[in-house]
Chains A and B, each alone.
Chain A
């Protein structure tokens, strides 16, 4: 038994509120550490409105949790290092790179993936717009682009500025804004102008 483990127990005992509020840690402490491996940690997520209970190696990224454990493979692994955006999902209303975060860090949180936005029978307006404007080619970055696109429209509505915002207090809808905000989603097939057209369409703005 490692001293780490004992230390953590000590920490937990000194912090009853934490144990109550955070079942993750409480249970983790109860599970002995495997020799050289990682002790499994229970994680509860609400993914696309569905509650899921998992036992996870703490090293498991949110991305691999979705793809390998929940078989929600719509979220893509392009680089696994936050350099491409293919893994973009929406957590608690905000888009993030699911490759650069651990599932255990999101215990109790709500995750929306591309599968949660719409299905082939019931497409989200952004998904529909991507089809109409050919906002993809190989399709691999597409779920990330769409999750980002949906979140970007919300960010503009919320008045969150971007690098393209001329006056920080005056956030307006423009192609330049969309391009800057979508720049964390690389599309090597480079459907870029089509994606911008799809976003304008989905936002109800005139297609440039």
Chain B
């Protein structure tokens, strides 16, 4: 099915199941611990043995010699995989550095061996006995020092490195009010709760990987490419994924090494990347240096806006596209964005929740706060004044499919009690706390992708949906079930949803907040095909048949789904593909974050007192799970604002604080009440679901709202994230 004209009235609009805040259908499995994750497949691979990854001790250089004798002689050791015995390996097209290093070493903690033993304890112990002599080479590890050498990178996920409209320099030069500031954001770690993990088993030349992966079809392709085998020989199974946030978009060392290990020892092998290895072994969100210039008239109306971003990655890597929202969010005839990429020999930079916007808005939305103050305009009002209903680079001929930023700002401000905010900083005191409020706009592009599903009805009238879509906590099981139930007119408890298996039709997968809308649209397509089959079997005209209460109805006749399905059941498969609606219309999701913080008058400890936001993201398929996505993302935004930072040791070239004790993320005590309002919106140009993504929108701007609240509380403007006590104290003293 192709979606190339705006959606009209369709079965989803009935809203009997879709749009209802149902409890998750995978809830009972999760709360009882019976949902199986990748390392827990005793059912599927009962005789699996244990692999432990040995990571490089240097950041750049070569392995001069490896001595495996002691490790091989250790109790229980069954085999050791290294570059020397792994055979010829390709490299995944989405991997920047090889997942198995050697003799060349590309980054610290890059996997250079896998030790396989009969028990976990023996594998971990023996791994310490692998002796490696390195010949280190000098590397580059300091983004700030290297930033002048940044080069223009190729397009990244459709974002060109440089964009221009009008005459930015000219417009900025003559602007009445100018903001010109630099902001920096550090490297971030996804820190999802389930480490990357895989159980691998070979059956002849066929490989099965029970793994933790957001993108099943990508994974199959990358495994095949890396091992040099046909895609048809590879099966990936990921029914449950303990958090992703982008860390599990790609093939990583756990899966590759489990496959290689299982081949070597002739039995299933399971591998989890140890927590302390994750920050340096896997990917992270790269640090940025950003310069923002905004030129406005004295009322704050923007005429010129420019955003430049420097980030680093390994050779062949990609930039953090932190300026991309600046192309689209606010008005202004004269605009520019630019990304420059620096070669760094740190671990691989890559996507983390809302790549680009998450850190881009940490800068842009503070710059807007600065502009509001410079113009003496309320920050909410400033954003409303600079709203634009079309793509400001392309002009009015490319309108937004739907853009409710202003509604979000107004409704959010109202609910939060924004009118109680004092414009002048440092005015509100509550005991030992200086109290302030901040606002930031939320913006995240809406992406859609081809997505397929198979759907059937069995002899009992149960509806079964199969797609390789994943549920990484996003609620995919439930919204896919709701979509199928709506389309076929059955209650949700009559639907069985099976996900995350490469034997199922290829879906859009989970990433870039495209998953919910795209995958349910794929289910919609398959369900339309099944409705046609059912109607045909019933002898009813397909376009007139009604699907209600487990019945197919036409005129005053009806037949049950169960009877029509017959003993064999009835199945249909289709996918949703997209035309050029996303070219003709700018498509994005919007919101407004509000935050109140307290800053200790003496120690500069910051506590978020409350957060609220209003969001417009098309049809909200399940308000309960969507709200959870948003509050979770807001919390990750609090982390980015206040505490999260991978600290680079520029001598050794690694992230020093590489465990969960030292890389701190928000805990329960950091997070107070969070209020979420969804603004009514149906986006008929996004998909037949009229939905858009929401899983990343919540992080976009959340941290900036915190930063702006700190400024409002204290009058201290920090532009170097995270906004920690040490920086606040220093700024106060200055």
A contact residues vs B (CB 8 Å cutoff):
34-38, 57, 59-60, 64, 67-68, 71-81, 83-84, 86, 113-115, 117-120, 123, 127-128, 130-132, 134, 136-143, 146, 164, 178-180, 182-196, 208
Q: Which of B251-280 contact A (CB under 8 A)?
A: 272, 274-276
**B244 to nearest A CB, angstroms?**
8
Q: Is the CB of A80 within 8 A of B275?
A: yes
Complex Cα spacing A178 to B671, Å: 12
Q: Is the CB of B671 within 8 A of A190?
A: yes
In the complex, residue of chain A having the shortest beta-carbon distance to the beta carbon of B75: A37
**A138 to nearest B CB, angstroms?**
3
Complex interface: chain A residues within 8 A of B458 (CB): none
Complex interface: chain A residues within 8 A of B9 (CB): none
Q: Is the CB of A139 within 8 A of B34?
A: no
Complex Cα spacing A131 to B125, Å: 40
Q: Is the CB of B23 within 8 A of A71?
A: no
Q: Is the CB of A139 within 8 A of B665?
A: no
Q: Which of B628-672 contact A (CB under 8 A)?
A: 628-629, 631-636, 659-661, 665-669, 671-672
Q: Mark B110-125, 1 if CB is under 8 A from A, else 0.
A: 0000000001111001
Q: Is the CB of A77 within 8 A of B272?
A: yes
**B451 to nearest A CB, angstroms?**
21
Tell me which of A67, A78, A194 contacts B195 (CB under 8 A). A78
Q: Which of B95-128 contact A (CB under 8 A)?
A: 119-122, 125
Q: Is the CB of B473 within 8 A of A137?
A: yes
Known A38-B121, A78-B193, A84-B193; judge A134-B625 contact (CB<8 A): yes
In the complex, residue of chain A having the shortest beta-carbon distance to the beta carbon of B674: A193
Q: Which of B53-82 contact A (CB under 8 A)?
A: 73-76
Report how many A-B pairs have Cβ atoms within 8 Å.
206
In the complex, residue of chain A having the shortest beta-carbon distance to the beta carbon of B197: A77
Q: Is the CB of B660 within 8 A of A84?
A: yes
Complex interface: chain A residues within 8 A of B276 (CB): 81
Residue contacts A-B, CB under 8 angstroms, 16 given: A36-B75, A64-B120, A74-B33, A79-B275, A81-B659, A115-B33, A115-B34, A130-B31, A131-B24, A139-B29, A139-B240, A143-B31, A143-B32, A180-B668, A184-B667, A186-B667
Q: Is the CB of B24 within 8 A of A188?
A: no
Q: Is the CB of B275 within 8 A of A183?
A: no
At the interface, is chain B mostly helix, strand, loop or mixed? loop
Complex interface: chain B residues within 8 A of A80 (CB): 274-275
Complex Cα spacing A161 to B372, Å: 46
Q: Is the CB of B34 within 8 A of A134?
A: no
Q: Is the CB of A139 within 8 A of B242?
A: yes
Known A140-B194, A188-B191; judge A120-B669 contact (CB<8 A): no
Complex interface: chain B residues within 8 A of A34 (CB): 75
Q: Which of B276-330 contact A (CB under 8 A)?
A: 276
Q: Which of B455-493 contact A (CB under 8 A)?
A: 472-475
Complex Cα spacing A38 to B168, Å: 70
Complex interface: chain A residues within 8 A of B51 (CB): none
**B279 to nearest A CB, angstroms?**
12
At the interface, is chain A mostly helix, strand, loop or mixed? loop
Complex interface: chain A residues within 8 A of B26 (CB): 139
B216, CB-defined interface residue at 8 Å: no
Q: Is the CB of A186 within 8 A of B193?
A: yes
**A195 to nearest B CB, angstroms?**
7
Complex interface: chain B residues within 8 A of A38 (CB): 75, 121
Complex Cα spacing A137 to B668, Å: 15
Complex interface: chain B residues within 8 A of A117 (CB): 32
In the complex, residue of chain B having the shortest beta-carbon distance to the beta carbon of A164: B669
Complex interface: chain B residues within 8 A of A191 (CB): 628, 631-632
**B558 to nearest A CB, angstroms?**
34
Q: Is the CB of A179 within 8 A of B669?
A: yes
**B230 to nearest A CB, angstroms?**
32
Which of B36, B121, B674 has the most chain A CB atoms inside 10 A of its CB? B121
Known A79-B659, A191-B632; judge A146-B31 contact (CB<8 A): yes
Instruction: Using A59-B125, A179-B669, A186-B665 as known contacts, list a sample of 13 further A-B pairs with CB atoms less than 8 Å apart, ordered by residue number in A.
Output: A36-B73, A57-B121, A72-B33, A75-B33, A78-B242, A134-B628, A137-B243, A138-B473, A140-B243, A180-B668, A185-B668, A189-B632, A193-B671
In the complex, residue of chain A having the shortest beta-carbon distance to the beta carbon of B36: A73
Complex interface: chain B residues within 8 A of A179 (CB): 668-669, 671
B678, CB-defined interface residue at 8 Å: no
B398, CB-defined interface residue at 8 Å: no
**B336 to nearest A CB, angstroms?**
36
Which listed segment binds A: B37-45, B567-575, B613-621?
Answer: B37-45
Q: Is the CB of B193 within 8 A of A141?
A: yes
Complex Cα spacing A64 to B40, Å: 11
Known A138-B473, A190-B635; judge A120-B32 contact (CB<8 A): yes
Complex Cα spacing A137 to B476, Å: 10
B727, CB-defined interface residue at 8 Å: no
B192, CB-defined interface residue at 8 Å: yes
Known A132-B23, A134-B628, A140-B243; judge A188-B193 contact (CB<8 A): yes
